[in-house]
Amino acid sequence: MSGSRKLARRAFLLEGAATGALLVATSRGSALPVPRRRPNIVLVLLDDFGIGDAQIYNPWSAIPTPNIDRLAAQGMRFADMHASSAVCTPSRYSILNGRYCWRSRLKSGVLDGSGTDLIEEGRLTLPGLLQKAGYRTAGIGKWHLGLGSGEATDYGKPLRPGPIDHGFDSYFGIPSSLDFPPYLYFENDHVVEAPSGHTEGSKEPRGVFWRAGGIAPHFRMEEVVPTLTARAVDYVKVAKRDKPFFLYFPLPSPHTPWVPLPEYKGTSNAGDYGDYVVETDAMIGRLLDAIDARPDGDDTIVIVTSDNGADWKPEDAARFAHRANADWRGEKADAWEAGHRIPFVIRWPGHIAPGTVSRETGSLTDIMATVAGALDLSLPDDAAEDSFNLLPALQQTGHAPIRPNIVDHSLEGMFTIREGNWKLVLGLGSGGFSAPKSVAPAAGGPKGQLYDLDADPREERNLYDAHPEIVARLSATLTELQQSGRSHPRRGI
Ligand SMILES: [Ca+2]
């Protein structure tokens, strides 16, 4: 290992090693009053974008990301933020519901393109909360939370229930990941162009992958990201100021297929993946420019984050001098840190000090309670049950950890629970894509994994047998969280 890589590795490890509410900040703010006019809110959710991709998180990234870096310089980034799951569908469920997805009918894996509506009828969602508070709510991008009811989605019928039944005034996008058929756009409850064509799919080169299936005749993989971005930019440009707006913008990149437009080819040092990340960052730049051009541009909360870790395999790391998940162990889908530790950047001028970094341990399930806290909205007891208000971290007014614990979940449904520096994994192996995926316990050997992330952020020393009391305590806490149906204490009591 070269000297510079050693330094890089140390920087990654140091950034992740500290736990709790220690703040590394350029200045300390104080609690600010609730704004007179409610701010616009833009939530950009990237797909499989890793914590080592953006240069603001990883100065050694082989991919230029000037727009995400600019946003972070104007706001705050979190170093210890986690998706609640290491894969798409459950992570998205938890963002829009403030609730762990393993409490829903989906106990592991993801929905495919025929998956039906996952969000329970009547459940208050993040857009539903904002809709009730007088917001105009729009979703533009990858849905991946199921459409319709019954055994499988019937794309020939109205796509109900769907996003417009869960708090969105309007929705335009694609049903699931860009590698799951059918390949089409839908708007609100109907298909824009029927998937009357067929694609044989693609398996190579590495990352240019999509499955065989139905496709709308005018649907082009490489046009999806710019098409969605143009829609989002138009939305921001024309949104009237009589009401604040909430825009949920889940881009399907840089998830497979890695299909950058020709003008982005060769713009990174990380192949098609890196070039697609450059394009993704440029699209965020277009959206930021549209926001900043509005008279109320400063009166806007902008969040950029990712639904899980990067799909960056050992062979990718061998081919390119790039670490999409920094030096965290594993990759997307895993119970190990690279599966779910993700970038999280938030800008809110006048309320969040620019250029700040938080080491607060947070979860994407917290967006809902944090937004409610920022807007002084109350949440009913039967909503956002796993969501904590991170506003004290954003405003740098808190000192104690906000969350008592976080729970993460791998592709295969392997649970982890984290409390401070301790992380318990209920099983052996990654539980996801990395080898070994699953390991049967040896006679007399550990049944799970226990790591001290402060001392061992790479998760290399399993302390399961050395600290049975910690294993027992964290196991009991997880069981309590599972059985009680909530992490957040009952509100108003
Ligand atoms: Ca994803």
Torsion, Cα 489 449 13 80, to 10 degrees, reads -20
d(CA 295, ligand 1 centre) in Å: 34
Phi, psi of 316 (to 5 degrees): -70, -40
Digit-coded pLDDT (tens) for 246-280: 999 999 999 999 999 999 999 999 999 999 999 99
The fraction of the chain above a pLDDT of 90, given in percent, is 91
d(CA 141, ligand 1 centre) in Å: 13
User: Can you give the three-state secondary structure of 108-120, one letter per residue?
Assistant: CCCCCCCCCCCCC
d(CA 342, ligand 1 centre) in Å: 11
Digit-coded pLDDT (tens) for 294-304: 999 999 999 99
User: What gap in Å lies between CA 119 and CA 166, rounded to an integer?
Assistant: 8
d(CA 391, ligand 1 centre) in Å: 26
- Confidence at residue 16, expressed as pLDDT on a 0 to 100 scale: 54
Q: Is the pLDDT of residue 197 over 50?
A: yes
Residue 491's pLDDT band (boundaries 50, 70, 90)? confident
Quick one: average pLDDT of 6-35? Answer: 46
The fraction of the chain above a pLDDT of 70, given in percent, is 92
d(CA 251, ligand 1 centre) in Å: 10
Least confident of 23-27, 98-102, 385-389: 23-27
| Neighbouring residues of 332: CB distance < 8 A, sequence distance ≥ 6 | 48, 86, 87, 308, 309, 310, 311, 312, 338, 339, 432, 433
d(CA 47, ligand 1 centre) in Å: 4
Least confident of 4-8, 34-38, 223-227: 4-8
User: What gap in Å lies between CA 468 and CA 462, rounded to an integer?
Assistant: 12
In terms of Cα–Cα distance, which of 5, 9, 12 is closest to 80? 12
Q: Is the pLDDT of residue 217 over 60?
A: yes
Q: Which two tokens stand for residue 98?
A: 């403030």
Residue 314's pLDDT band (boundaries 50, 70, 90)? very high
Distances (CA, A) of 51 to 292, 305, 324, 347: 25, 9, 6, 18
Tokens 């509100």: give the residue: 491
- Confidence at residue 37, expressed as pLDDT on a 0 to 100 scale: 79
User: Can you give the three-state secondary structure of 154-222, one letter per residue?
Assistant: CCCCCCCCCHHHCCCCEEEEECCCCCCCCECCEECCEECCCCCEEECCECCCCCCCECCEEECCCCCHH
Q: Is the pLDDT of residue 29 over 50?
A: no
d(CA 180, ligand 1 centre) in Å: 13
- Confidence at residue 7, expressed as pLDDT on a 0 to 100 scale: 52
- Confidence at residue 398, expressed as pLDDT on a 0 to 100 scale: 77
Give the largest Cα separation in the chain, rounded: 67
Domain with CATH 3.40.720.10 in the chain: 12-21+39-394
In terms of Cα–Cα distance, which of 181, 182, 120 is closest to 145? 120
Quick one: average pLDDT of 432-437? Answer: 98
d(CA 296, ligand 1 centre) in Å: 31
d(CA 307, ligand 1 centre) in Å: 5
d(CA 87, ligand 1 centre) in Å: 5
Residue 4's pLDDT band (boundaries 50, 70, 90)? low
Q: Edge-to-edge strands of the sheet including 422-425?
A: 406-409, 415-419, 422-425, 449-452
| Neighbouring residues of 285: CB distance < 8 A, sequence distance ≥ 6 | 66, 67, 70
Q: Is the pLDDT of residue 307 over 60?
A: yes
| Neighbouring residues of 105: CB distance < 8 A, sequence distance ≥ 6 | 118
Distances (CA, A) of 358 to 54, 222, 395, 426: 16, 35, 10, 28
User: What gap in Å lies between CA 23 and CA 18, rounded to an integer?
Assistant: 10
d(CA 305, ligand 1 centre) in Å: 11
More confident residue, 25 or 400: 400
d(CA 414, ligand 1 centre) in Å: 17
d(CA 320, ligand 1 centre) in Å: 21
Tokens 């906000």: give the residue: 402
d(CA 405, ligand 1 centre) in Å: 23
Domain with CATH 3.30.1120.10 in the chain: 406-484
Residue 26's pLDDT band (boundaries 50, 70, 90)? very low
d(CA 31, ligand 1 centre) in Å: 34
Residue 68's pLDDT band (boundaries 50, 70, 90)? very high
More confident residue, 185 or 3: 185
Does the domain at 406-484 match CATH 1.10.10.60? Answer given as no
User: What gap in Å lies between CA 279 and CA 293, rounded to an integer?
Assistant: 21
Q: Is the pLDDT of residue 18 over 50?
A: no
- Confidence at residue 9, expressed as pLDDT on a 0 to 100 scale: 55
- Confidence at residue 1, expressed as pLDDT on a 0 to 100 scale: 46
d(CA 22, ligand 1 centre) in Å: 29
Least confident of 13-22, 393-402, 409-418, 436-445: 13-22
Give the DSSP letter of residue 39. Answer: P
Among 3.40.50.11820, 3.40.720.10, 1.20.1050.40, 3.40.50.2000, name the CATH number for the domain at 12-21+39-394.
Answer: 3.40.720.10
CA 422 to chain centre: 22
d(CA 441, ligand 1 centre) in Å: 30
96 near 126, Cβ under 8 Å? yes
Digit-coded pLDDT (tens) for 139-179: 999 999 999 999 999 999 999 999 999 999 999 999 999 99
